[in-house]
Amino acid sequence: MTSIETPAGGVRPPFWRDVRVIRIFLQILAVVVVFGTIWILGNNLRHELMKQGLPTNFDFLQRPFGVNISDSSFDRGSRVSAALAAGIKNTFLLAIVGVPMVTILGTLIGVARLSTNWLVAKAAGVYVETIRNIPPLLIIIFVFNAVVLQLPKPNDPATPFNSFVISNLKLVGPSLATSAGAGALWLIILVGVVGAVVVAIWRTRFSERTGEPHHRLLFGLGVVAVFAVIGYFATGSPVSISRATVDGRVITGGFGGLGSYFAILIALVVYTSSHIGEIVRGSILAVPRGQTEAANALALSGFQRLRFVVLPQAFRIALPPIINQYLNFVKNTSLAIAIGYAEITVITFQAIGNGQPAPQLILLLMAAYLLFSLTISIVVNILNRRLQLVGR
């Protein structure tokens, strides 16, 4: 910005007007002010913690947690650190199921808003404009109280098709049950998957050589299916469907989750997909019109135009903001605290309520989220750089 050359005569200005000195001085000042403040606050923190008889280090993590966590094998005698780990696991359960769901629903809504069908476009527009202007916390509480809690009571659950057990405490559906020999079956399927990849590569090369359609997905799935069916009978049918059945309040078989899990999952998927829908719509509109017209000129069908021309380009534009929404989704899972689903924030809240030191716990909580956010950001930046390079 400012020139730092010495004047023509070679006489240097006095040091208090020398830009180089001022720059160094300002930086030292900034460091002193910031770290001084942190030091003072840290000192206060230590003194106040000691005054209240609370630990000043992280040894409390080894103490018993003292509360049970519903729907997990965790019992009250286990350590605080184990409880936090269980909380992180539950946060992951929300993220892993939720992120694909918001992607699919959000894309559908974004495409629907641009539909040539007036009714569909308007309906999607109303959905987006309604949902994204309502606080997510309110949606979560609404879904939990007005939808999930209105389901049948746990002592008298609904059992549709004799394979679901639905109550306001827990929702369980049929799942796969394995017996002896299942390991061999998984191995055979794995071989099938490898075979499918090989076949898919062959089909791609074939297509490139001859110009015939490759159908590599179809071929690949076929290979896996053949392996799975043969393996299933060869190993003596080790996998069966386990129906969820209920006896009194005890649910056996099946696979499911707590009502509060589904409440927060549904609410956040509904909320986040409205934002992703807007991003997808904006990205599709940002694809140059000439691309659509060129696809039409090539006589591609509406679906082909979307699948092979518009969406791939739109997603390149949409990727950074969509990842941002994924991060928001994960951060918003912390709102489970309002309905008590035992993810990491709720566990922290309970630990504080049980007399564990709040400052350290909140610091750990922040660190957990931060680690997650930064990891995703780094991955996305790498991905983004690759996407931007390819195809330009």
Partner 1 sequence: MTTTVPRQAAATGPARALAWARKNLFSTWYNSLLTVVFGAFIVWAAIRLVGFLFDIDTTIIRVNLRLFVAGRFPNDQLARLWIGGYITCAGIGLFARAIVRNAEFKAIDAGMAFDRAGWRAVTRRFWPLLMLFAVILGFTRTILPTLLTLLAIVVGIAAFLLGGMLPRGVARRSWLIPIVGTIAFYLAVAGFGGVGWNDWGGFFLNIVLTIAGITLAFPLGLMLALGRRSTLPVVRYMSVTYIEFLRGVPMITLLLMGAFALGFLIPGDRQFSLFLRLLIAITLFQSAYIAEVVRGGLQSVPKGQVEAAQSLGLAPWKTMRLIVLPQALRNVIPAMVGQFISLFKDTTLVFIVGLLDLLRAAQISTAQSEFQAQGLQAVTLPFAALFFWVGCYVMSRESRRLERKLGVGER
Q: Based on the shown chain and the rule CB under 8 A, indicate whether residue 352 belongs to the binding site for partner 1.
A: yes
3-state SS class at 173: strand
Identify the CA nearest to 368 among candidates 337, 333, 340.
Answer: 333
**Given the complex with partner 1, which of 46 and 385 has the nearer CB atom?**
46
d(CA 98, CA 100): 6
- Restricted to residues 133-162, the positions that interact with partner 1 (CB under 8 A) are 133-138, 141-142, 145-146, 149-150
**Given the complex with partner 1, which of 56 and 245 has the nearer CB atom?**
56
Q: Based on the shown chain and the rule CB under 8 A, indicate whether residue 319 belongs to the binding site for partner 1.
A: no
- Restricted to residues 326-345, the positions that interact with partner 1 (CB under 8 A) are 331-332, 334-335, 337-338, 345
Find the shortest distance in angstroms from Cβ 241 to partner 1.
30
Find the shortest distance in angstroms from Cβ 338 to partner 1.
6
User: Which residue do the tokens 């460091």 mark?
Assistant: 31
d(CA 100, CA 381): 20
DSSP of 52-85? TT--SSSGGGGSB--S--TTSS--TTSBHHHHHH
Identify the CA nearest to 368 among candidates 103, 81, 140.
Answer: 81
d(CA 326, CA 317): 16
Residue 127: exposure state from Cβ atoms within 10 A (0-12, 13-18, ≥19)? middle
Residue 273: exposure state from Cβ atoms within 10 A (0-12, 13-18, ≥19)? buried
**Among 74, 164, 261, 349, contact with partner 1 (rule: CB under 8 A):** 349
**Among 176, 285, 366, 383, contact with partner 1 (rule: CB under 8 A):** 366
Q: Based on the shown chain and the rule CB under 8 A, indicate whether residue 362 belongs to the binding site for partner 1.
A: yes
**Given the complex with partner 1, which of 85 and 193 has the nearer CB atom?**
85
Q: Based on the shown chain and the rule CB under 8 A, indicate whether residue 130 belongs to the binding site for partner 1.
A: yes
Find the helix or strand (DSSP H, E) in which 242 lies: strand 239-242
Identify the CA nearest to 274 among candidates 113, 78, 70, 68.
Answer: 113
Q: Based on the shown chain and the rule CB under 8 A, indicate whether residue 57 belongs to the binding site for partner 1.
A: no
- Restricted to residues 37-56, the positions that interact with partner 1 (CB under 8 A) are 41, 44-45, 47-49
Find the shortest distance in angstroms from Cβ 200 to partner 1.
30
Find the shortest distance in angstroms from Cβ 85 to partner 1.
18
Find the shortest distance in angstroms from Cβ 137 to partner 1.
5
Given the rule CB under 8 A, which of 168-176, 189-197, 259-267, 359-367 is the region that contacts partner 1? 359-367
The pair of structure tokens assigned to 163 is: 């394979």
3-state helix, strand and coil shares in percent for the chain, rounded to the nearest 5? 70, 5, 25
The one-letter code for the residue type at 315 is F
**Among 197, 358, 384, 387, contact with partner 1 (rule: CB under 8 A):** 358
d(CA 73, CA 236): 32
- Restricted to residues 7-36, the positions that interact with partner 1 (CB under 8 A) are 23, 26-27, 30-31, 34
Can you give the binding site for partner 1, defined by CB under 8 A?
A: 1-2, 23, 26-27, 30-31, 34, 41, 44-45, 47-49, 115-120, 123, 129-130, 132-138, 141-142, 145-146, 149-150, 331-332, 334-335, 337-338, 345, 348-349, 352, 358-359, 362, 365-366, 369-370, 373-374
